[in-house]
Chain A
């Protein structure tokens, strides 16, 4: 595997050079938002906050798919697990997210058949191996995850697999960026844009948002050197007063993106209005299965009664997702809310901001 490749992007000397450049160029205080949860986690894991100048604040955005999934959707997932003769297949991150009354993990402990899978391929295999059960895959994620799920649906149709269903809670990054830009609580001077999503959607997809708001933007990868390159680009743009849409991750991201992935997504999904935790209803920001694939659409095939959903009281996840507050400012943080007994989703996911703070941040740092 390509670990040698990643080592190049963890090189202490290159990192030191970039840090030197950032320190030299950066004069005024400013706030950057890393939109993607994987960036948040990488920034903490590599200790990047402590090595850049103090006047550069890094805020986390709404880029953790589990975190922006609404309480209503979580409650729906839990309700789906109660249908007779079904197996709910899910990515691991969702297991521990508390719904209004329970969590998937808790339901599994009560005997519901809920399986953690690593890919849609595993969920399809379950459907093939256990033909007398209905397999419902919980489709949560952004444009990074959606193409593989679209492909699994196309494959299921080709193979005549009739017991495979997808509940699509997929979300699109670009509409969320526009909503963030319009939000009065959001006060940022530059965006570190997500590398993985950009591999799929391409640089051009950001152009309309950039042209409208003229905020410094840099697409960045996830290794420390990648992230420092992104920050370096933003510092240059901010100090020079010339906002750009810069691709600092050219080894993976192109102007037009991955056309094959985009076309299979387009084939299977269409846009719909969707609610995000923290950001509210965002027009055209979600993906639902097209009518031609309705036989695989769990939302159409299964009617579940979902009790009234309530957001956890006192939980600041919504504002954390906009970068409006930091996790330690939440009244529940490290009191009633911790990774072992999370109250809000940002404390659960390995990409969640609160989880990153809890795991890697200390007041003594």
Chain B
């Protein structure tokens, strides 16, 4: 690594994060389960296949339209487990709170966590609370871990995409990331954006009930759809081709992205999934996703191809081609 200090980029979910993981973390903790680099670990214990995942939440602001750090922390881990093709069952919660944090805000966050847990049909069964001195964290950080069960016959992995597969997205992109950015201190325009934070486990269960052949499931959180598709292309050693005019995005989200010079393909989502599905099962999986409350705008955005392995390409609206690379560095708002 060129820098001897950790920069914000190393947490952006893009190339720098991958570099940090592959150069520093993986060599130390090397094992076959970790090496899969999926959203969660899948392993057998006592004849049962389990999925296990963890995630930390440090979002600023902690309250935003469409949710707060609390429901985000539940949905995030629920979704990571669901993306393993598993049914999430139990979650742990770790709270790190800055001294002086208002109890009223804490209550509000915990209440939203309870509601999110009910909605996702999981239980919080263990936890931990730490309070640190002023400035040691920013208001509140939350870690959640979760465990779920993988049914027989389900084999979901980022390594499973095959040429001919269809690439499905469960709805419009970039809503969470642009909501957060437009509510950060310093940005002074009004918008009607709301985060898409949602549990996707019930949707995944229905999807797997109509097709056990789904190859890949991913929730395109940090780094966005562009980075997630690149991860799949790399892990499966295939090319992925998407079509600009098929990628769903709401007009106000698109407009704010334009204004700030952000590419929506690299903006975070918290209630969307990407599924890579064999051609023959694609239509029935799509119609199942559309029946779900969080999948009404689902559609296909492209397909897996033989050409250009480990790369993602986009056919633009006007018929041009361009590469969709992994996010390289946190997106920076432009000058003009």
Contacts and interface: CB of A to CB of B under 8 A. Distances in A.
A221 interface: no
A51 B320 contact: yes
Nearest to A355: B328
A106 interface: yes
B16 to A, nearest CB: 5
Nearest to A1: B255
A38 B251 contact: no
Contacts of B323: 359-362, 365
B262 to A, nearest CB: 9
Which interface residue of B3, B252, B332 has the most chain A CB atoms within 10 A? Answer: B332
Contacts of B335: 65-66, 91, 93-94, 140-141, 145, 349, 351
A350 B334 contact: yes
A2 interface: yes
A2 B254 CA distance: 10
A16 interface: yes
A167 to B, nearest CB: 14
A314 B144 CA distance: 47
The size class of the interface chain A forms with chain B is 35 or more
Contacts of B325: 358-360
B336 A92 contact: no
B296 to A, nearest CB: 21
Interface string A161-201: 00000000000000000000000000000000000100000
Contacts, number: 154
A12 interface: yes
Contacts of B260: 118
A264 B16 CA distance: 42
A125 B308 CA distance: 49
Nearest to A196: B336
Contacts of B186: 115-118, 122, 125
B6 interface: yes
B5 interface: yes
A92 B254 CA distance: 20
Interface stretch (B97-105, B156-164, B204-212, B310-318): B310-318
A96 B329 contact: yes
A6 interface: yes
Given A12-B318, A65-B336, A92-B332, A362 B255 contact: no
Given A46-B317, A224-B318, 15 more contacts: A1-B255, A19-B319, A47-B314, A106-B5, A109-B3, A125-B186, A144-B336, A224-B316, A338-B15, A339-B328, A341-B3, A351-B334, A360-B323, A362-B308, A362-B311
Interface of A: 1-4, 6, 10, 12, 15-16, 19, 38, 44-51, 65-66, 91-96, 105-106, 109-110, 115-119, 121-122, 125, 140-142, 144-145, 196, 224-225, 228, 338-341, 349-351, 358-362, 364-365
The 8 closest A-B pairs by CB, nearest first: A47-B320, A92-B332, A339-B328, A1-B255, A15-B318, A3-B251, A92-B333, A47-B316
